[in-house]
Amino acid sequence: MRARRRALRRRAGSAATALAGLRANEARYFKNKYDYVFTVEPAAKAKKDIDWVHRILKEERDIAIASPPLEATTLHVENIRWTYVFYESGLSINVLYPLDEPKKRAVGFKLSEGMEVPAELGSFKFARQKSKLAGTIRGSYFVIKGEY
């Protein structure tokens, strides 16, 4: 029993470390491209943003994420609404929602290093990307068709 608890803590610790790498990777992107400081807040304080992302996933692709959300953020940069949700499993979901270009709206998925593809995302193909801050990230996306 003790060995099992230690193994679970190690796995949770490595997921937390990998997730921190994903957040740092996004923070660097926004700082370099937009000179914007990327910050997140606990899921309990970001419920509206998380619900919005979950609604898009449900209505567009009938996807429900099994892992609990840990943190989220919404930012507005150059007439684009970006919403990020970071999950306990090491998954990151972002919604790119240009307010004036509906055809460029999309949902992106990023899997932190070492994370298996969750069953609910099994139909997606994931490409690999190297990051100094996050190791090997795997990502996929779909285009949003509706209005949210």
Domain borders along the chain are 2-143
Q: Report whether pLDDT(86) > 80.
A: yes
Identify the band that residue 15 occupies on the pLDDT scale cut at 50, 70 and 90. Answer: low
Q: Report whether pLDDT(127) > 80.
A: yes
Task: Determine how many CB atoms are found less than 10 A away from the CB of residue 136.
Answer: 13
Q: Report whether pLDDT(125) > 70.
A: yes
Average pLDDT of span 117-121: 94
What pTM was computed for the model? 0.84
Give the residue with greater pLDDT, 1 vs 108: 108
pLDDT score for 4: 39
